[in-house]
Homo-oligomer: A and B are copies of this chain.
Amino acid sequence: MAKETTSHLQENDFSKWYLQSIQKADLFAYGPVRGTMVFKPNGYALWEKIKTEFDKKFKASGVKNCYFPMLIPESFFKKEADHVEGFAPELPWVTRAGDEELEEPVALRPTSETLFGNAMSDWINSYRDLPMELNQWANVFRWEKRTLPFLRTSEFLWQEGHCAYATEEEARERTMHFLKVYQETVEDLLALPVYAGQKTPSEKFAGGVDTYSIEAMVKDTKSVQAGTSHYLGTNFAEAFDIKYLNTENQHVYAHTSSWGVSTRLIGTMIMAHGDEKGVVFPPKMAPIQIALIPVGNVKKNPEVLTRLEAIEKDLQAAGYSTYLDDSNNSAGYKYNEAEVKGVPLRIEFGPRDMENGQCMIKMRDLEDKEAVNLDDLLDKVASEMETMQKRLYDKADQFRHDHEHFDIDTLDQLKAHIKSCEEKGEYPGWVLAGWDGTEETEAKVKEETGFTTRNIPFEPAVEKNVDLVSGKPAKHTVWFARAY
């Protein structure tokens, strides 16, 4: 392993680093059907943590969970023209059941606005039925050409919120509320700073009016769209006839919204916090938070193991998930195992430690070990965990700031910047630039650099006045970056 840990794979071949890291951490396996994956127990545990936290917050917001069928009739897609155009190329179709051909092909859901729209038109009659805020946890399908475990798979897991409101104002207000829940949770739980902002029309949800996203920078400085919240206007209400009787006794269209986060959050987190040794989990996310490793000849000193088991019990009683490695492997092998699995805190305990009433602790993201008196261990663990959670956030925040560029104002400058980075073997980062609001600029930038508009951040670090392609006055200040 020494060879790998001292290499610079993360800097030099990020894809290879990523695949190796998630394999060493035993998070996934490839599925037999193209682009599908197995979430192995270590990987699925991450999703359970994400799900539990979001579910709590949605429920606290008044959202109710439900479950809709996975199969969508072809006719439903056709009701919203932009929607079908956007999703059609990626839809898998069931055409047969047993030996029978189906009369109408049915799609595996890529998202469920059409099904919720159809149901809401039945369920909503008057203003008293509004707002209606629903959510489901489900598997969805998008037949992607290029796939990457957790980040982009033919089938993935997500939640999709679907809401209906009486007014545009309320719908927009709640659209922003759920975006904010995403931002706060991703920053707090995943220790991942994000930029909240609005997507440009070319990047918005097919069939929607306005899409908002949170965008995270990972260690190859690409952007990941980590969550989206869409204001859908009355588009789906018109397509599915979602009308309500208002207080003036008129039948009017409801305003709808939808919002989702998915298992790609797992890949994003790993790409943002991982280091050359592999994955690094923030304490709040780690399936195993503490590894306890006996040092020295345990057979000669069986009491070491007994004492370590007592320490483990105390830690478990304090709420930590732990793993005591009492296998026959060497201590060094065990240290490495705990590191490649991303365990935040490691406790080493041997005969001499026992004599001295202490143990050694080592944080996954720091170099040095520290001796800790056993009497102080619980307090120390609590403070180290809290500090590490914050430290990972701060490091990721520093990293993104180190790779943000505010002084690139023309396409030529962007191209020169990218070339210079390539020559130095550096990743090109994100560029905050002016945009005149045209698709021509977006197309030109993408074609020549692979950079796309990520979002129009709500709080740009600086305001830009000139479009970087046309030189015309900028309508918006936009993040441009390569993205997953």
Contacts and interface: CB of A to CB of B under 8 A. Distances in A.
Contacts of A408: none
A318 interface: no
Nearest to A29: B119
Nearest to A48: B65
Interface stretch (A70-78, A369-377, A411-419): A70-78
A129 B112 CA distance: 40
Contact of A98 (B41, B65, B69, B143): B143
A92 interface: yes
Interface stretch (A12-20, A31-39, A181-189, A457-465): A31-39
A94 B65 contact: no
B66 A32 contact: no
Contacts of A43: 66
Contact of A122 (B29, B48, B66, B89): B29
Contacts of A67: 38-39, 44, 47, 157
Contact of A89 (B47, B99, B157): B99
A115 interface: yes
Q: How many copies does the complex hold?
A: 2
A8 interface: no
A33 B71 contact: yes
Contact of A71 (B36, B45, B122): B36
Interface in A99-145: 99, 105-106, 108, 115, 118-119, 122-123, 134, 138-139, 143
A47 B64 CA distance: 13
A90 interface: yes
A66 B38 contact: yes
B32 A73 contact: yes
Report the interface size class on chain A. Answer: 35 or more
Contact of A44 (B39, B47, B66): B66
A40 interface: yes
Contacts of A66: 38-41, 43-44
A282 to B, nearest CB: 21
A68 interface: yes
Interface string A7-27: 000000000000000000000
Nearest to A114: B32
Contacts of A98: 88-91, 143
B38 A155 contact: no
Contacts of A92: 71, 94, 96-97
A93 interface: yes
Nearest to A263: B67
A95 interface: yes
A388 to B, nearest CB: 25
A368 to B, nearest CB: 33
A93 B89 contact: no
Nearest to A89: B98
Interface centre among A31, A69, A90 (most CB of B within 10 A): A69
A118 B48 contact: no
A41 B134 contact: yes
Which of A37, A45, A90, A97 is most buried by chain B, counting CB atoms within 10 A of its CB? Answer: A97
Contacts of A97: 90-93, 143
Contacts of A76: 32
A91 B99 CA distance: 9
Contacts of A90: 97-98
A93 B93 CA distance: 8
Contact of A106 (B33, B38, B89, B99): B33
Nearest to A38: B68
A33 B155 contact: no
Given A48-B65, A134-B41, A70 B143 contact: no
A93 B71 CA distance: 12
Contacts of A91: 97-98
A330 B49 CA distance: 44
Contact of A139 (B33, B65, B73, B139): B139
A36 B73 CA distance: 12
Given A115-B32, A122-B29, A155 B70 contact: yes
Interface in A396-425: none
A154 B70 CA distance: 10
Given A32-B118, A71-B155, A65 B38 contact: no
Given A29-B119, A29-B123, A40-B66, 5 more contacts: A32-B69, A41-B66, A45-B65, A70-B155, A91-B98
Ranked nearest first, the 9 interchain pairs of A and B with the lowest CB-CB distance are A36-B69, A41-B64, A31-B69, A39-B67, A97-B143, A33-B71, A92-B97, A89-B98, A93-B96
